[in-house]
Structure 1
Amino acid sequence: MASWFLSECGLRPLPIIRFYSKPRPSIPSNTNNNGLKVRTLPGSSPFKVSTWCRRRSFVGSLNVSAPLEVVETINGVEEEEDNGGFDPAAPPPFNLADIRAAIPKHCWVKDPWRSMSYVLRDVVVVFGLAAVAAYFNNWLVWPLYWVAQGTMFWALFVLGHDCGHGSFSNNTALNSVAGHLLHSSILVPYHGWRISHRTHHQNHGHVDNDESWHPLSEKIYKSLDNATRLLRFTLPFPMLAYPIYLWSRSPGKSGSHFDPGSDLFGPNERTDIITSTACWAAMVGLLVYLSSAMGPIQLLKLYGIPYWIFVMWLDLVTYLHHHGHDEKLPWYRGKEWSYLRGGLTTLDRDYGWLNNIHHDIGTHVIHHLFPQIPHYHLIEAVSISPSPFPTSIMFPHTGKKCYMNLNCRPKQLSRCLGNTIGSHRNLGLSRFICSGSSYEA
């Protein structure tokens, strides 16, 4: 129940999707054009798995393919072929260049003034919320403040995240200064996290090389003590894990985001890590001073609790974009993995009125493929019209008909098919472990 709640949370893929019966003439396609029409997003009640959440899609029509030439039966449920002729085992009939060519050119333009305006907006809101909470200073206001301020800390993090990707501006120095100010203020080492996050983007969906939320090998899983297993796989502890990850990374990986000698970083990045660690330490020093000036309880109310709300936001959103209760999201390895196929295993999520507050981070698939696109162009970038992609690669999966036939629950067997690891990416199943040619809990 907990993993279902986390993986869905009543959140639906972004409702900006159009389907067209014909691709652009310039892009070859073997599609079977069935004349799909514009679809509207059906309503759904909170915490109900919506129809759209049962479809794994990019721009409404791209699905991650399953391993080649494999038909597997689990719990008596057999893979079915799509009546429309789409082979879910086939790689996507397009490449990264096709997607790039379909995105309007102005979506790639970075406006530093516009980026800074979002920083100014968020900083003003952060200080305004703190001033209001301190002025009223009563227990009816504080809980509301904690949730609101923690959400704004998360918004600051997303802007710093954009600095790290270079989508904030074309000026490297501006990106670095803004990124350090934004991330250090919420106790994140800018360069350390920027580099590890770059590794995540470059290796997403690769069972061995992805940086976080990856399955563990059998050897590593069995080597974990009971406390570590509890903290990693039992709610709510994984939603508070980010500070631990910064210090020691994920189980099975060594190093720290604060250590310039960590294997996360190259020799030429040593100075960057030292700089970011120094900025982080300066923020810690400022918090110590504020604690002595206003008292630790007041600092806890103004900063400490919102910080943990921010951590929960970060872990929750990251989890939702890379896992799904009913979306069958594979892990790849070896020759089956590619940057495109790995990027297509992410999920878009619709956070409603919060989308603008946290800078459209829910538009995640196109961001994973092209992190250079500024956040204020992401929505338009995925509203490609006309669609350059063949409609036949749209393969809705419900019940027995899905492109990854793994309708299993935690502690049930999930198999490694060829070089594609077929496992749900939910909290219980993220611990699937590799033993020879299979993944099993």
Structure 2
Amino acid sequence: MRNQQEKDNWRKIISPYEKPSVGKSVWQLINTFVPFLVLWYAAYWSLSVSYWLTLGFSIVAAGLMVRIFIIFHDCCHGSFFANRKANEIIGTIAGIFTLTPYHQWRYSHTRHHATSGNLDHHGEGDIWTLTVEEYLALPRWKRIAYRLYRNPLVLFGLGPIYLFLIDNRFNRKGAKKRERFNTYLVNVSIVAIISLLCWLIGWKAFLLVQGPIFLLSSLAGVWLFYVQHQFEGAYFEKEENWNFVDAALQGSSFYNLPRLLHWFTGNIGYHHIHHLSARVPNYHLNRAHKENRLFQEVNSISLWSSLRSLSYRIWDENRKKLVGFQYVKDFLRAKKQENKL
């Protein structure tokens, strides 16, 4: 059991890790963007040698693209630099690389942090997750839409393509002038860079290099976002019972990845700490976890065990757990037999 006193004093425990380091942030920019650009050029150069070699360079570059997104993510939380303007500038640049507008994503992701695990607000900047009761109350066509949405081929195949290439190109309803301008700036910059590269190396070469980088990094990004809240032991509660600390420590996974993958994913696997305080820079998350029992006494998932999350589709409020659609079928069948009796 987690020490209740530590849980009550979580603000005091987490505060020493919330101060960003200019040196560490700058070094992370260097050791992420520079090798990414070098690998991108190496992938292009290798097209004349072997496409297998190109794919090798692209796979590593895709890992670095995920790391660039984590830098973007930290900037959106204002945790990468202490200076707000520095976060906005670097965040916008990283957003151009990752095809994601800075202000638009910051808004939706802030909503996600404020409502994660809250069944009265679920779906706000999050994976669409219904309860069994909500699902059964839907008209047939919407049940089919939900089942399609939760299908892994759609969620991790079409989903990343739609999200990064299409959805991110449009401003949300009610967006203010500053947010709208940032979206336009990112969109124009993306078009300009792609046009320049296609002019310099040709559109076929561009697609052969950038295609695998985009597909692999976007798939990895959506998977990470999915598994951080869709796992065995996840936390969901109605508004009246919802608790911020429990939602962070129980409803956000500790994805216990190999050390190399923690590096490429910017320590986002320590998601329970991140949700407790988004002000902690990614390079302090590992230390916060190692130095505090509060953060260690949580359920962890491994790379292998996380694959079970693919079978989770819907939240059963009675059993307090994520279940698959087969459970709903069995439930309805049992209910029909009960009614016959």
TM-score tier (shorter): 0.7 to 0.9
What is the match of residue 44 of structure 2? 134
Cα deviation, residue 160, structure 1: 0.5
Q: 1:314 aligns with which of 218, 221, 242?
A: 221
In structure 2, how many angstroms separate the alpha carbons of the residues matched to 1:395 and 1:361? 16
What is the match of residue 53 of structure 1? none
1:416 maps to a residue whose letter is E
Per-residue deviation, residues 152-187 of structure 1 (Å, max 9, x unmatched): 111100100000011101101000000000111121
Is 1:181 paired with 2:93? yes
Per-residue deviation, residues 4-60 of structure 1 (Å, max 9, x unmatched): xxxxxxxxxxxxxxxxxxxxxxxxxxxxxxxxxxxxxxxxxxxxxxxxxxxxxxxxx
Per-residue deviation, residues 345-381 of structure 1 (Å, max 9, x unmatched): 1111122122122221111101111010111111111
What is the match of residue 416 of structure 1? 317
In structure 1, how many angstroms separate the alpha carbons of the residues matched to 2:100 and 2:262? 22
In structure 2, how many angstroms separate the alpha carbons of the residues matched to 1:172 and 1:329? 33
Contact 2:117 2:247 in 1 (8 A): yes
Alignment RMSD, CA only? 3.2
What is the match of residue 213 of structure 1? 127
Listed as ranges, the gaps of 5+ residues in structure 2 are 301-310, 329-341
Larger helix percent: 2
Contact 1:367 1:378 in 2 (8 A): yes
What is the match of residue 306 of structure 2? none
Q: 1:239 aligns with which of 156, 177, 184?
A: 156
Contact 2:99 2:164 in 1 (8 A): no
Is 1:118 paired with 2:28? yes
Cα deviation, residue 394, structure 1: 7.6
What is the match of residue 338 of structure 1? 243
- Helix, strand or coil at the partner of 2:267: coil
What is the match of residue 108 of structure 2? 196
Aligned length: 307
In structure 2, how many angstroms separate the alpha carbons of the residues matched to 1:374 and 1:118? 11
What is the match of residue 10 of structure 2? 99
Relative contact order, higher structure (CA 8 A, sep 6+): 1
Is 1:351 paired with 2:257? yes
| Distance change (3 Å), C-alpha of 1:151 and 1:410 | closer
In structure 1, how many angstroms separate the alpha carbons of the residues matched to 2:30 and 2:275? 26
| Distance change (3 Å), C-alpha of 1:99 and 1:224 | same
What is the match of residue 378 of structure 1? 285
- Helix, strand or coil at the partner of 1:333: coil
1:109 maps to a residue whose letter is K
| Distance change (3 Å), C-alpha of 1:367 and 1:284 | same
In structure 2, how many angstroms separate the alpha carbons of the residues matched to 1:100 and 1:371? 12
In structure 2, how many angstroms separate the alpha carbons of the residues matched to 1:128 and 1:245? 27
| Distance change (3 Å), C-alpha of 1:120 and 1:414 | closer
2:86 maps to a residue whose letter is L
In structure 2, how many angstroms separate the alpha carbons of the residues matched to 1:339 and 1:130? 41
In the superposition, the TM-score normalised over structure 2's length comes to 0.79
What is the match of residue 336 of structure 2? none
In the superposition, the TM-score normalised over structure 1's length comes to 0.62
Per-residue deviation, residues 58-116 of structure 1 (Å, max 9, x unmatched): xxx54xxxxxxxxxxxxxxxxxxxxxxxxxxxxx84586511222472x2221123212
